[in-house]
Amino acid sequence: MKILDSLGIANNNQGASTGASWQTTGTEGTIEVISPVDGRLLASVYRCSEKDYRQCSASAEETFRAWRCVPGPKRGEIVRQIGEALRAIKTELGTLITLETGKSLQEGLGEVQEMIDICEFAVGLSRQLYGKTMSSERLEHRLYEQYHPLGPVGIISAFNFPAAVWSWNAMIAAVCGDTTLWKPSSQTPLTAIAIQHLLGRIIEHNQLPEGLFNLVVGAGATVGEQLLHDQQLPLVSITGSTRVGRRGAEVVAARFGRSILELGGNNAIILTPGANLERAVPAIVFSAVGTAGQRCTTTRRLIVHQDLYPKVKKALTAAYASLRIGSPLDQKNHVGPLISREAVTGYTKALQELSKQGGEIVFGGRVLEGEGFESGCYVEPVLAEAENHYPVVQQETFAPILYLITYDGGVENAIRLQNGVAQGLSSSIFTDQVREAELFLSAAGSDCGIANVNIGTSGAEIGGAFGGEKETGGGRESGSDAWKGYMRRQTNTINYGLELPLAQGIVFEL
């Protein structure tokens, strides 16, 4: 395929790289990458061996010792070049993301744009890795703090954003003076390999040492476990399910490492009687069916005031009936496939559980077959009436299922329902009432890491820190001051006087 050729993807690809060079082990079997768009084989990837992993880890550690001493703005210049290189292949890489994940071409291109944006953010950040100066209680003393590079950073990413989430971590880590070791999802390794080829060209052009950006493709039970236990990695960023994050956090904490966790979401939008439905309905539909419901920020619960519910139900049913489902390469379509047939099984099981627990499907629910749906990964987005306490509603199903839940009384009751799940990533309220909006954003309001007013739950900008609370893990990536997580913090005191006063007025005389 021409797109694959242009990105350096062969029929058979190595799965481990230290930058400009690739390991050649082929003893661990291969991953066959099947496109959910049409079911065809895109390419295969040799799994990384334990020896390959050790070489990549050692390379990351060795290169870190030199990279940490490079001035921040010069590190930023390398990231700037990466951003420019991404601009040159935006269409090709965005198309590959669509082929590999099944998300719409617009979303694939948007993901590459997000990478470009985070590169620009990181370049500016490279001149602003600031500490603070505080007033010392002691005469002729200066008290301040500074941030130093932390070390090699492990990155475990998920299939649904096979490029952007890596860039949130890797570009920030790079300007902070860290090297990275990336384990992508085994469902989407080709995007990672294409990016690694791009990075290799940057490394060669600038005569940088190998090991700045490292790639290891393999199973979680082997390569993933090696990464979690790797004492050379003081920080591991994990994007995935709550189950995966819990395992990762336990292993990393046991060796006193740090972890950044971006885990499950069970996001809700609240519609109050004062909501503007013309503005709300399109936001709800995109947030619920974008990426075929396979975003961690996907809207999974719609909490509607009972007085508004009949009108909302009618409007959403009409909107869902107008959705076009089909190849994500056709930009006229709204909804593409799920990532795999296993994901379709999860979708159908959730609907079966919904029925057992007393819920009712309002719209959708079919697995689509026939011409254009040969991969077996296409499903109808679902609207379903449910109650917040149903076990199926309490868990995250990575599919386009939107649960319609009603509330009565004041907005406090809606907020209580919204917060009444184990996850705490993204949340939203639609209202034109200032009091309702401010209460939602207050300490007594949404308990999520992201809280929006009059926009949906998905589509976060890179300028704000991204992450959530509770079983979402508490991690923060991307913008704001999330960069501090990739550095070690140091408090410094300088005595420039001739005396030696002690803090707290302590007197010690010899």
Q: Are 264 and 296 in contact (CB under 8 A)?
A: yes
Instruction: Name the DSSP class of 289.
Output: H
Q: What are the C-alpha distances in Å from 143 to residues 137, 147, 434, 475? A: 9, 14, 43, 29
CA-CA-CA-CA torsion for 192, 197, 199, 200, nearest 10 degrees? Answer: 140
Q: Which H or E element spans position 249? A: helix 242-254
Strand boundaries in 364-400, DSSP class E? 382-385
* Known catalytic membership, residue 176: no
User: Which ranges of 9-163 does DSSP label H, i.e. alpha helix?
Assistant: 50-67, 72-88, 90-101, 105-125
| Strand-pair category, 30-34 with 41-46 | antiparallel
The whole-angstrom separation of Cα 331 and Cα 488 is 45
Q: In what order do the strands lie in the sheet with 180-183?
A: 16-17, 213-216, 180-183, 153-156, 235-239, 258-262
Q: Which of 61, 100, 107, 262 is catalytic?
A: 262
* The one catalytic residue among 48, 56, 176, 296: 296
DSSP 446-498: --SSEEEESS-SS---TTSEE--EETT-S--EESTTGGGGGEEEEEEEEE-SS
Distance (Å, whole) CA 216 – CA 201: 18
Q: Which residues contact 43 (CB under 8 A, 6 or more apart)?
A: 4, 9, 10, 11, 12, 13, 33, 190
Local structure of residue 122 (DSSP, 8 states): H
d(CA 250, CA 242): 12
For residue 412, which of 420, 422, 404 has the smallest C-alpha distance? 420
Instruction: State yes or no: is 262 an active-site residue.
Output: yes
**3-state class of 428 per DSSP?**
strand
**Is the four-CA dihedral 172, 173, 175, 181 of positive or negative sign?**
negative
Contact 123, 129 (CB under 8 A): no
For 334, half-sphere exposure in the C-beta direction (CA atoms, 13 angstrom radius) is: 17
- Catalytic residues, which ones? 262, 296
